Amino acid sequence: MRGEYKVPGGKLVAVDLAVEEGRLARVAVSGDFFLEPDEALEDIDRALTGMGESSTVAQLTHTVEAALGDGVTLVGFTPEAVAIAVRRALGHASGWGDHTFEILHEGAESPAMHLALDQVLTEELDAGRRGPTLRIWEWGGPAVIIGSFQSLRNEVDVEAAERHGITVVRRISGGGAMFVEPGNTITYSLYVPASLVEGLSFERSYAFLDDWVLGALADVGIEATYKPLNDIASPAGKIAGAAQKRLRGGGVLHHVTMAYDIDADKMTDVLRIGREKLSDKGTKSANKRVDPLRSQTGMTREAVIEAFKEHFRGRYDTIEGKVTPEERTLAEELARAKFSTPEWTARVP
């Protein structure tokens, strides 16, 4: 059996192995990484041989770490990467190439409907009625989307939002507040099985699921990097923020909002971005934190989105798809009964 794992921003790790009487046998780690001294590779193989086939990523990682002495140098990979490749070889974890992704890009929806669709499509994947999916959002109106655990009054000037005609909604994922306007924002969601991020910490899973969009940004001339925990940035400033929600059954929602263009004055009028929030960003002004895609590419929003979709199609197996009538009915009810209600929006006052 063979498993592979490409470290985000790093190298490929591959593991070939067999299972005999419930234990790993004939383990052979390979890849385009760098490792010194050479003999350390054999130490890794020997350490993994005999491990139980049900060993977790944490257990496998600890075993690899214990086999490496102080003088060993790993470049482009980690013991955890080896562990993930082992789990993939055993069929416990999956890679991008193990899935066919449906691409959804439909018409504009209200903010509440978008959040309802995120919940419904993740639950449908969790239930096995939908496969892995990339959904591009089209916004039907301006909005502030606060994280699941944020305080409404601490994050949003509700009177300013009403004055500007901006809807305030709360999503099911954590993270910070996002300010969006139709035509100025690019948002997408990934709905994937837990097997795709199996063994990855939350921080590593952000980098893993955002890796494709770094390549897509490079296609449009932007040298972007992942900034822990959940930002995507270029040398000119922050481009995007990500958030994630994992369901108990195994469905994973990962969504990203990018600034194509931005009315920074309106944003700072509506969002209560305090000095503490900015203190670790190296800037005194929220206006200077974000650098939109429009200023860096000169491309239209539509052209940027098409470039993103083409990059995704070129990288993974994809089919064109749509929200099913059943999914839409569920989302419409959820948008009305949950995401449009003051009880949900102000659940953390």
Confirm if 242 and 210 have CB atoms less than 8 A apart: yes
Q: What percent of the chain has pLDDT over 70?
A: 95
208-254 pLDDT tens trace: 999 999 999 999 999 999 998 899 999 888 899 999 999 988 899 99
> What would you measure as the largest C-alpha separation in the chain, in angstroms?
69
Asked if residue 11 has pLDDT above 70, the reply is: yes
Query: d(Cα 236, Cα 238) in Å, to the nearest integer?
Result: 7
85-122 pLDDT tens trace: 999 999 988 999 999 999 999 999 999 999 999 999 99
Question: Mean pLDDT over residues 304-317, rounded?
Answer: 98
CATH of 97-345, one of 3.90.1580.10, 3.30.930.10, 3.40.50.300, 3.40.50.150: 3.30.930.10
Is the backbone of residue 311 left (phi > 0), alpha (psi -120 to 50) or beta?
A: alpha
CA neighbor of 93 nearest in space, from 192, 224, 223, 234? 192
Identify each DSSP E strand in the chain by its residue range. 2-6, 12-20, 23-31, 34-36, 73-75, 100-105, 133-136, 143-146, 167-170, 178-180, 185-193, 225-227, 231-234, 237-246, 251-259, 317-320
Task: Give residue 1's pLDDT band: very low, low, confident or very high (50, 70, 90).
Answer: very high
Query: d(Cα 16, Cα 3) in Å, to the nearest integer?
Result: 7
In the chain, CATH 3.30.390.50 covers 2-93
Query: d(Cα 41, Cα 116) in Å, to the nearest integer?
Result: 48
Whether this prediction's pTM lies above 0.95 is answered by: no
Token code pair at residue 265:
């004055």
25-59 pLDDT tens trace: 999 999 999 999 999 999 999 999 999 999 999 99
Look at residue 132 in the predicted model and tell me its pLDDT.
98
- Cross-strand bridge partners of residue 238: 233, 290
Look at residue 70 in the predicted model and tell me its pLDDT.
87
Asked if residue 284 has pLDDT above 50, the reply is: no
Look at residue 277 in the predicted model and tell me its pLDDT.
52
Confirm if 63 and 48 have CB atoms less than 8 A apart: yes
Name the residue with higher pLDDT: 201 or 79. 79
Mean pLDDT of the chain: 93
Q: Is the dihedral of CA 75, 77, 80, 85 positive or negative?
A: negative
CATH of 2-93, one of 3.40.50.300, 3.20.20.20, 3.20.20.100, 3.30.390.50: 3.30.390.50
Is the backbone of residue 291 left (phi > 0), alpha (psi -120 to 50) or beta?
A: beta
CA neighbor of 331 nearest in space, from 4, 133, 50, 110? 110
Look at residue 317 in the predicted model and tell me its pLDDT.
98
Task: Give residue 275's pLDDT band: very low, low, confident or very high (50, 70, 90).
Answer: very low
Asked if residue 307 has pLDDT above 80, the reply is: yes
